[in-house]
């Protein structure tokens, strides 16, 4: 996952700065009746790298709720603290390329649903052909977007405990030599 680290046992690393430094996440973790499971729900529903990401948002919420709470409609998802954590999670991990990919996937799903419900006869065949041409264009543009995301590579978390890069180290040496002169 990108913002929240989850260990093999399925628990959130509370030592992770990505969790405990964000007020909205702290409130979910500390609130009675919410806690770790609710924060996992937020992460699994919102995270770009969630294993549930291939579902559209409504279905993703149902799948995550079912897997974590055993029901398809978890009542906690409408609580103000959970809603605030969801909004903050989305804000912190926002990436325009990933958001565009989500939008394309939604449109493809809408086209597919429309085509599944469409009755085909002589009058509607031409309309269906236009829809299929439109879908083909969306798929091509979507693939270009996916290629851009793959070229970008894996997201890197910003971490303060890493060593300085070559240029940062060189600048630091220059500044130290100026101070000592």
22 in any annotated domain: yes
107 in any annotated domain: no
Domain that holds residue 25: 1-93
Q: What is the pLDDT of residue 172?
A: 67
115 in any annotated domain: no
135 in any annotated domain: no
Q: What is the pLDDT along the chain (181 residues), one digit of tens a residue?
A: 567 777 777 777 666 556 677 889 889 989 998 988 999 999 999 988 888 988 888 999 999 999 999 999 999 999 999 999 999 988 888 778 878 888 888 888 888 888 888 888 888 888 888 888 888 888 898 888 888 878 876 655 444 445 556 666 676 677 777 666 6
Q: How many domains does one find in the chain?
A: 1
Residue with tokens 């995550």: 64
Q: What is the pLDDT of residue 74?
A: 93
139 in any annotated domain: no
178 in any annotated domain: no
DSSP 132-153: HHHHHHHHHHHHHHHHHHHHH-
109 in any annotated domain: no
Identify the three-state secondary structure at position 89: helix
pTM above 0.75, yes or no: no
Strand partners, 6: 12
43 in any annotated domain: yes
Give me the torsion for CA of 125, 127, 133, 135, rounded to 10°. Answer: -110
């Amino acid at each position: 996952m990108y913002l929240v680290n989850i260990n093999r046992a399925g628990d959130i690393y509370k030592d992770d700065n990505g969790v405990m430094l964000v007020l909205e996440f702290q409130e979910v973790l500390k609130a009675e009746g919410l806690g770790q499971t609710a924060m996992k729900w937020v992460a699994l529903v919102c995270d770009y790298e969630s294993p549930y990401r291939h579902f559209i948002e409504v279905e993703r919420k149902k799948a995550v709720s079912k897997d974590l709470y055993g029901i398809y409609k978890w009542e906690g998802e409408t609580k103000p603290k959970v809603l605030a954590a969801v909004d903050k999670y989305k804000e912190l991990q926002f990436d325009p390329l990933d958001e565009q990919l989500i939008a394309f996937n939604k449109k493809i799903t809408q086209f597919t649903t429309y085509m599944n419900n469409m009755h085909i006869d002589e009058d509607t065949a031409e309309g269906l052909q236009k829809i299929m041409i439109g879908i083909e264009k969306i798929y091509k543009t979507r693939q270009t977007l996916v290629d851009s995301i793959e070229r970008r590579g894996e997201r890197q978390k910003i971490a303060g405990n890493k060593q300085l890069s070559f240029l940062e180290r060189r600048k630091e040496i220059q500044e130290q030599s100026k101070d000592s002169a």
